[in-house]
């Protein structure tokens, strides 16, 4: 079934000029870019976006990282977009992500793992609404 999902290219990737390379991988894997924007995350957006992580020990580090630089948000579509993008980006821990995945190529660590991909259809809808108001 054709779906939409959200990809965020995180500050470590934008700082290293990997935006084009990551978007090229996404397009080569059958995704259509429906919407695209560059922005900076503030505290309120970080809190809303990562609401399920508020109060966890790693949250402050995550929020600080996501507010540290430019982010590129992309609404992507294709058949089974959520699952296919999660496969393409790889494990959240870049150090163990499968070779050839975006995180294995461009991630630095579990925290600075290059990209975010929605983990469910419901998350994609909520996240897209937050980023693309």
Structure confidence by residue, pLDDT tens digits, 4-33? 999 999 999 999 999 999 999 999 999 999
Q: What is the CATH number of the domain that holds 95?
A: 3.30.70.141
pLDDT band at 1; cut points 50, 70, 90? confident
pTM over 0.85: yes
Entry field: residues in the chain = 133
Residues with active-site annotation = 116
**Residue whose tokens read 């929020």:** 63
Domain interval for residue 97: 2-131
Mean pLDDT within 28-41: 98
CA–CA distance, 110 with 96 (Å, rounded to integer)? 9
Structure tokens at 99: 């070779």
CA–CA distance, 113 with 110 (Å, rounded to integer)? 5
Q: What is the number of structural domains in the chain?
A: 1
């Amino acid at each position: 079934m054709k779906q939409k999902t959200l990809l965020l290219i995180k500050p470590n990737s934008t700082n290293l000029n990997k935006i084009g390379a990551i978007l090229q991988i996404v397009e080569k894997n059958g995704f259509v870019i429906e919407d695209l924007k560059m922005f900076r995350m503030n505290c309120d957006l970080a809190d809303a976006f990562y609401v399920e992580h508020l109060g966890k020990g790693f949250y402050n580090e995550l929020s600080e990282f996501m507010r540290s630089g430019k982010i590129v948000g992309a609404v992507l579509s294709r058949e089974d977009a959520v699952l296919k993008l999660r496969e393409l980006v790889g494990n959240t821990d870049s150090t163990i992500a499968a070779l050839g995945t975006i995180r294995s190529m461009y991630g630095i660590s579990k925290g600075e793992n290059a990209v975010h991909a929605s983990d469910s259809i419901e998350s994609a809808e909520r996240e897209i609404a937050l980023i693309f108001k």
